[in-house]
Amino acid sequence: MASEGVFVHQFPLGPWDNFLYFIGDAATRTCAVVDPAWDARTILDEAARLDLRIEHILCTHSHFDHVDQVDPLLAEIDAQVHMLAEEVDFSGFTCENLVRHRPGDTLSIGSHAEITMMHTPGHTPGSVSYRLRDAIVTGDTLFVQGCGRCDFVGGDPEVMYRTLRRLLDELPLDTIIYPGHDYGPTPTSTLTMELDGNPYLAKPTLDSFVSHRMEGKTPGSALPRRPDWTPPGRS
């Protein structure tokens, strides 16, 4: 990301192709980690390699593949944990230093990075996307050439449809998309590129979107359990 004074660092982790992010302030090397999951040691090693200090933990939503390393991280570092109050209440998520947020809340990191919390429900009721200048970290809302599933408990395809329309209405089309999973042909995208190739944004009506998104799916499904997984190189 080229925006002066701030950075977005993307890295993949885990068997489900998650993308994690460090977003923050270049001058002070302070940052937030977005969606810490799968292996705290890898996350801390990556921060050390980049000479970054993690002061905040941002959760796009409560699914374990986005939050299951919050507690292991808090055992090693002192950080505030951020989630929308609606997601906390929906999921029962709990941890130390948890800050319950409302849509539109902002968070400053260092002297340059101001993050805005945009409520983007549909995958879960309290899913949030984190905006930083011309970038947005979208969790399991918008993927490159895809969008998050709406059949898990708390998901709602009609709500997702409206969320995706709102992203298009409210954000500049050159906004850079940083998704929560590496499911597309490229690791990042822009709204312009997604308008061109994302079948979920191209669906013209609510009904056609819902039938496409829910095809072969059962509403109210349980999220799969965490598979056994050991980071490569660790036994």
DSSP 71: H
Smallest distance from the beta carbon of 33 to Fe ion, in angstroms?
17
Q: Give 11 or 183: the residue with its C-beta nearer to Fe ion.
A: 183
- Token digits of residue 95: 């941890």
Q: Report the side by side order of strands in the sheet with 176-179.
A: 106-109, 113-119, 128-132, 135-139, 176-179, 189-190
Q: Which stretch binds Fe ion (CB under 5 A): 76-84, 130-138, 139-147, 192-200?
A: 139-147
Instruction: Report the site for Fe ion in 44-63 (rule: CB under 5 A).
Output: 63
Q: Give 63 or 131: the residue with its C-beta nearer to Fe ion.
A: 63
Q: Give 110 or 184: the residue with its C-beta nearer to Fe ion.
A: 184
Q: How far apart are CA 49 and CA 39, in angstroms?
A: 16
Smallest distance from the beta carbon of 216 to Fe ion, in angstroms?
18
Smallest distance from the beta carbon of 10 to Fe ion, in angstroms?
17
Q: Give 218 or 235: the residue with its C-beta nearer to Fe ion.
A: 218
The answer to whether 140 contacts Fe ion (rule: CB under 5 A) is yes
- Token digits of residue 215: 């095809």
Q: Give 110 or 126: the residue with its C-beta nearer to Fe ion.
A: 126
Q: Give 84 or 109: the residue with its C-beta nearer to Fe ion.
A: 84
Q: How far apart are CA 14 and CA 226, in angstroms?
A: 11
Q: How far apart are CA 25 and CA 152, in angstroms?
A: 35
Strand ranges (E), 120-188: 128-132, 135-139, 142-143, 146-147, 176-179
Q: Give 55 or 87: the residue with its C-beta nearer to Fe ion.
A: 87
Smallest distance from the beta carbon of 113 to Fe ion, in angstroms?
25
- Token digits of residue 3: 């925006």
CB 17 within 8 A of CB 38: no
Smallest distance from the beta carbon of 178 to Fe ion, in angstroms?
15
Q: Which stretch binds Fe ion (CB under 5 A): 6-14, 67-75, 136-144, 189-197?
A: 136-144
H-state helical runs in 96-232: 157-170, 191-197, 199-202, 206-213
The answer to whether 181 contacts Fe ion (rule: CB under 5 A) is no
Smallest distance from the beta carbon of 65 to Fe ion, in angstroms?
6
Q: Report the side by side order of strands in the sheet with 80-84.
A: 6-13, 18-25, 30-34, 53-58, 80-84, 98-101
Give the CB-nearest residue to Fe ion. Answer: 63
Smallest distance from the beta carbon of 148 to Fe ion, in angstroms?
6
Q: Which stretch binds Fe ion (CB under 5 A): 31-39, 94-102, 132-140, 197-205?
A: 132-140
Q: Which residues bind Fe ion (CB under 5 A)?
A: 63, 140
